[in-house]
Structure 1
Amino acid sequence: MPTTTPAIDDLDSAEAPATRGRARKYTQVLGTINQAAIEVFASDGLAGASTQAIADKAGLSKAQLHYYIGSKEALYRQVLQDILNDWIVVFGFSDEAFGPRKVLSDLIQRKMVFSFEHPLRSRIFTAEMMRGAPVLNTLMGTSKQRTDQAAAVIQNWMNQGLMDRSDPMLLLFHIWAVTQFYADHAIQAAYFRNVAQDSGEKDRRYLIEQVTAFLLKGAGVK
């Protein structure tokens, strides 16, 4: 009997599921490595972290890890870039026309929720800043641009009399500092408040409400 050569479309359709499966597995492993790196960098810092520790945390051999990453430093840089990308969304301002009460309230809530849900990422960022931001200094161009835009929006609200006059950039710093506290000092905050460190959604809502009221009052939002 004559043999039939499969059509190219048939070959493509047969290979596609296998290709998609490999791509999905590759993405899953990268996600596991990223999470392992976050945990190791948060506890040991860049200097104290090792690729062996990251591999162990990810359930891989060191050789397997290096199939996916070039170096510890490259992985650290990628983790910082991912954090910055997340924070660009977190710190993004809503439509200026909504006014300072809504926009700043939304900003405070997003930042605190991020701190509650991703405390290790926040601590990596803070630790990098504490050592002079040698890596972040090369990555923060977009973040600086967005922050300048936010400060300009706040200045415009002040000019309209919608909030008290102050230095808009410093106001942003104050918001960052207060909200960041609940990521960097979660254990301390829980201890002095006599609550469990992960005290649940109700307590989180209470903290967001208290911090929001405090910061809006301090900013003189009308």
Structure 2
Amino acid sequence: MSARPDIHSDEGANEAPATRGRSRKYTQVLALINQAAIEVFASEGLAGASTQAIADKAGLSKAQLHYYIESKEALYRQVLQDILSDWIVVFGFSDEAFGPRKVLGDLIHRKMMFSFEHPLRSRIFTAEMMRGAPVLNDMMGTSKARTDQAAAVIQNWMNQGLMDKGDPMLLLFHIWAVTQFYADHATQAAYYRAEALQGDDKERRQLIEQVTAFLLKGAGVR
């Protein structure tokens, strides 16, 4: 595999046009494989997924797919790593001085939008957790550290009387559970509300506003 183009090179400006073209194609094919893998892993799980199914979804032969990936397991691990990297941003806290209403409100908004726009990725994460997180267990160090920091910020707000006292980590769990519902159970939510949650901006805004009000009231945010 040493003949593969280096898609991470910073020498693009000095490459010949043909080389740049190959690099762009390589990157485009990787993107197709990544999206195909997300769809297959979300519907079949790691055990049920096959490289043939991923290749078919990406419009490649199985031999072509294996030029770009080492194995199904390596691809699954990369998908999970990408999800974790995105969630570090989604779950990030802004300046503590803005207070709980602003910071937690922004968090709920970002997480709801991620659920609306990337439901398959959210479901892959949930399925991995339900299996006991065998792959994720050794990948979550940064996520755990960020979550501990967020819990410490919430504890400070509680100590200042800006919100009701309680277990900060449980509050984060409750936020995750409610917002994650709109990814894991999007079909159910749309069915009972008779609304399409995946494309209606007005419906999304109303849901985010109601969920935010519900969670902040439950947390006793002043």
Q: CA RMSD in A?
A: 1.4
Separation in 2 of the partners of 1:13 and 1:182?
43
Deviation per CA, 1:78-127: give whole Å up to 9, x if none.
00000000000000000111100000000000000000000000000000
Matched, 1:220 2:214: no
Instruction: Find the counterpart in structure 1 of residue 54 from structure 2.
Output: 54
Asked whether the equivalents of residues 197 and 203 of structure 2 are also in contact (C-alpha less than 8 Å), the reply is no
Name the amino acid aligned to 1:184: D
Aligned residues: 211
Matched, 1:115 2:115: yes
Offset of residue 196 of structure 1:
3.1
Structure 2: gaps of 5 or more residues: 1-11
Offset of residue 190 of structure 1:
1.1
Offset of residue 62 of structure 1:
0.3
Offset of residue 197 of structure 1:
4.6
Instruction: Find the counterpart in structure 2 of residue 28 from structure 1.
Output: 28
Separation in 2 of the partners of 1:103 and 1:146?
15
Asked whether the equivalents of residues 162 and 221 of structure 2 are also in contact (C-alpha less than 8 Å), the reply is yes
Separation in 1 of the partners of 2:68 and 2:95?
40
Asked whether the equivalents of residues 30 and 68 of structure 2 are also in contact (C-alpha less than 8 Å), the reply is yes
Separation in 1 of the partners of 2:13 and 2:215?
58
Offset of residue 13 of structure 1:
8.1
Mapping of residues 66-81 of structure 1, within 5 Å: 66-81=66-81
Separation in 2 of the partners of 1:106 and 1:15?
42
Q: 1:18 to 1:196 in 2, by over 3 A?
A: same
Mapping of residues 63-212 of structure 1, within 5 Å: 63-198=63-198, 200-212=200-212
Q: 1:182 to 1:15 in 2, by over 3 A?
A: closer
Offset of residue 15 of structure 1:
4.8
Offset of residue 17 of structure 1:
2.0
Separation in 2 of the partners of 1:47 and 1:146?
30
Offset of residue 173 of structure 1:
0.2
Separation in 1 of the partners of 2:107 and 2:47?
33
Separation in 2 of the partners of 1:20 and 1:164?
57
Name the amino acid aligned to 1:39: E
Separation in 2 of the partners of 1:13 and 1:106?
39
Offset of residue 171 of structure 1:
0.3
Asked whether the equivalents of residues 33 and 54 of structure 2 are also in contact (C-alpha less than 8 Å), the reply is yes
Separation in 1 of the partners of 2:152 and 2:37?
36
Offset of residue 14 of structure 1:
8.3
Structure 1 segments, 4+ long, off by >4 Å, are 12-15
Structure 1: gaps of 5 or more residues: 1-11
Name the amino acid aligned to 2:189: A
Separation in 2 of the partners of 1:196 and 1:96?
35
Q: Which moved more, 1:66-75 or 1:12-21?
A: 12-21
Q: 1:156 to 1:29 in 2, by over 3 A?
A: same
TM-score (norm 1): 0.92
TM-score (norm 2): 0.92
Higher Rg of the two aligned structures: 1
Q: Percent identity?
A: 86
Deviation per CA, 1:127-178: give whole Å up to 9, x if none.
0001110001011000000000000000011111111101000000000000
